A and B are shown apart, each in its own frame.
Chain A
Amino acid sequence: MTAESVSAMTDSAPLEGKYVYCIIRNDRSREFGEIGIGSGARVYTVSHKDLAAVVSDTPIVIYDPTRENVLAHEFVNETVMREFTLIPMSFGTIFRSENDVRALLNSTYQAFTDVLDKMQDKIEFGLKILWDRDKVVAAIERDNDEIRRLKDEITRNAASSTYFARMQLGRLVEAAMEEASNRYVNDIHEQLKDTSVASRSNKVIGDRMILNAAFLVERKDEKGFDEKVKAISLQYEDLLTFKYTGPWPPYNFVNIKLKLEKAT
């Protein structure tokens, strides 16, 4: 019975859909190789005027955002990005037919064109910064007179030091840490300003992260931006861990609200 339902499923799920990775400007058809989502589907273009959607054939399914699937989506965009400026589509976007894809290119033609102009020769870099709490606290205790004095006092009179004094120390350290975090983040943004076009700060993940940012950079400034990030990470070597990724398609700087509905 299981075998039956499985074969029934595969029979009723031919590769009829089009998984869309991104939109580029290109008026000829192009092949990008067998690198698509779902064990290496053939990646090619569906064109409308001078715009093209980069797609691969897929059954009509909902893709889980597993690492494997997300990497496949990402790998296609990275490959396309070597030659084209692109507008990335969100993960898992599937159309039922080439005609539906062309309808998207047609109805959103102007917005896509405007964004492609704006994003021409620009790439994105991700920068996540984590701090080592213990090291930052140690640095604060070293540099902040008031905190150092209070701490000395508490250790000297361990027995008699009041709950209140400890509370106050805790509060002072918390405030100093927040101040330090803001200072680091502002300094880093300031130092990267000249080599980037724009930046965006996203919500931090977990309790060790103090910055989760994306930077939009001109392709010609890529090397300069790279070097700057390396220099800053050296400057903060003792306190902060840098997670630097890219180049990415401009995920954080393209915001087209597509008017799409569920295709039943």
Chain B
Amino acid sequence: MGLLSKILLAPFLGPVWGTQWTLEKVDRVVREELTNDEPIKEDLMKLQLELESGEIDDDEYVRREGEIMVRLREVREWREKFGMGTSGGPVRVAESDESE
């Protein structure tokens, strides 16, 4: 979010539409970053690999796993806020599919 505040606080330089466009783009980038759990899942897999290869011990694993779970929950919350799909939790067969 550091980037966003820097851009917001920067002196006004370009024409208005330019600023608007930049803000929209920043918004998109920020949103993408907040709602993307792929890099977090990758971190989890890396962590597992480190445990398997003996680079870290069990305590270290549990500690960092906890941090990763917090990040995953944050992404889940943002996805819900933006009305995007989330995995896990209660589901049912989609209504539109029950044509019988």
Contact = CB atoms under 8 A, between A and B. Distances in A.
B97 A259 contact: yes
Contacts of A108: 93
Interface in A91-135: 91-96, 100, 103-104, 107-108, 128, 130
Main secondary structure of the interface of A (DSSP, over half): loop
A95 B91 contact: yes
Nearest to B96: A259
Given A95-B90, A260-B91, 14 more contacts: A60-B89, A62-B76, A91-B88, A92-B88, A96-B92, A103-B92, A103-B98, A206-B49, A258-B93, A259-B93, A261-B92, A261-B95, A262-B89, A262-B90
Contacts of B61: 67
A100 B49 contact: no
A215 to B, nearest CB: 19
Q: Which 6 A-B pairs have the closest CB atoms?
A: A92-B88, A260-B91, A263-B92, A259-B97, A263-B90, A259-B94
A167 to B, nearest CB: 30
A260 B93 contact: yes
Contacts of B75: none
B65 A67 contact: yes
A260 B49 contact: no
Given A90-B87, A92-B87, A205-B42, A104 B93 contact: yes
Given A66-B65, A205-B45, A262 B91 contact: yes
Contacts of A62: 76, 88-89
A227 interface: no
Given A65-B72, A205-B45, A100 B92 contact: yes
10 contacts: A90-B87, A91-B87, A94-B91, A95-B92, A103-B98, A128-B49, A130-B53, A243-B52, A258-B93, A259-B93
B65 A93 contact: no
Contact of A94 (B46, B76, B89, B97): B89
B49 A205 contact: yes
B49 to A, nearest CB: 6
B89 A92 contact: yes
Contacts of A258: 93
Contacts of B46: 205-206
Query: Which residue of B42, B53, B73, B88 has the most chain A CB atoms within 10 A of its CB atom?
Result: B88
Interface string A241-264: 001000000000000001111111
B98 A107 contact: yes
A90 B92 CA distance: 14
Nearest to A58: B90
Contacts of B98: 103, 107
B34 interface: no
Given A205-B42, A205-B49, A64 B73 contact: yes
Chain A CB within 10 A, most for which of B46, B90, B92, B95: B90
B94 A260 contact: yes
Contacts of A259: 93-94, 96-97
A236 interface: no
Contacts of A263: 90-92
